[in-house]
Amino acid sequence: MLFYYSRQLGAGVPVYTDIFHSKLDRWLLRPVKQIWGDNHMIRKLATVMAALVVGAGVAAAGHHKMAEGEIALAATSGQVVVVYKLDCAEDQKDAGIAIVETLISYERGHSPIPYSSTLGRWDDGLLGAVDIHSSLASMEAAFEWQANDETWSALNNQMLETCGVEADDLQVSIMVAE
C-alpha cells in the first residue's frame, strides 16, 4: 500500500495516510461528514441502510410462497397418508362430523406427536378423514398415543356410537408417499 505524508500532528510529528483511505475520505466521507456532521450519524445511517437492504432481501424471498390458487403437495417422500372412511347413519352424519371435529381439535392441542388431520365427506356419502404423518414411526407413535389417551378414546367411542357402527367398520388405508 502506498503511503504519503498528509499533515503534521502536534509538535512536528508527521502523520502518514495510505492513498486509498485518503481518496475515500476526500471523495466520499468528507462530503457526507460536512452534511451530517461527525457525531456518529454516519454509523447510524449505515446501520439503517444495512437493515433496509437486509429487510428488502427477506421481503424479496417471499416470492417462493405459493401463488394464489396453487396447491401444495399432499405429502412428500417418506410421509404417511392415512385415509379413514366410516359409514355413519344418514340421520346422524352431522352429529358424527361434529364429534370428529372435536376429536381433531383435541388431537391438535394434546397430541405429543405432530401430524395433520382433515375431516370430510367422501363422494359415496361416507364420512372420513385424512391424516398426514411425517413417517411410519410417527404414525405408530400417534396410534399408540390415541390408544392410551382416555379423552381421545372416549371421543372416538362417542363418534362410533353416534354413527351406529363398530370400530371394525372403520375403513383405514395407509400409503407411504414416494
**pLDDT value of position 86:** 92
**pLDDT value of position 73:** 77
Q: Are residues 166 and 119 in the same domain?
A: yes
* Cross-strand bridge partners of residue 150: none
- 34 inside domain: yes
**pLDDT value of position 110:** 93
Structural domain range at position 34: 3-64
Q: Is 18 left (phi over 0), alpha (psi -120 to 50) or beta?
A: beta
Q: Are residues 90 and 33 in the same domain?
A: no
- 20 inside domain: yes
Q: Are residues 86 and 143 in the same domain?
A: yes
* Cross-strand bridge partners of residue 116: 132
- 132 inside domain: yes
Handedness of CA 25, 26, 31, 34 (dihedral sign): positive
- 74 inside domain: no
The residue among 13, 39, 64 that closes a domain is 64
- 73 inside domain: no
Q: Write the secondary structure of 65-88 as one string of H (helix), E (strand) and C (coil).
A: CCCCCCCCCCCCCCCEEEEEEECC
pTM of the model: 0.60
Return all residues near 159 (Cβ < 8 A) that are at least 6 apart. Answer: 86, 96, 99, 100, 103
Q: Are residues 57 and 85 in the same domain?
A: no
Per the structure, the count of domains in the chain is 2
- 75 inside domain: no
**pLDDT value of position 6:** 47
- 72 inside domain: no
Joined grid coordinates for residue 67: 401463488
Q: What is the pLDDT along the chain (178 residues), one digit of tens a residue?
A: 444 444 444 555 555 444 545 554 555 555 555 555 555 555 555 555 555 555 555 454 444 455 677 877 788 899 999 999 999 988 999 999 999 999 999 999 999 999 899 999 999 989 999 999 999 999 999 999 999 999 999 999 999 999 999 999 999 999 999 9
Q: Are 125 and 94 in contact (CB under 8 A)?
A: no
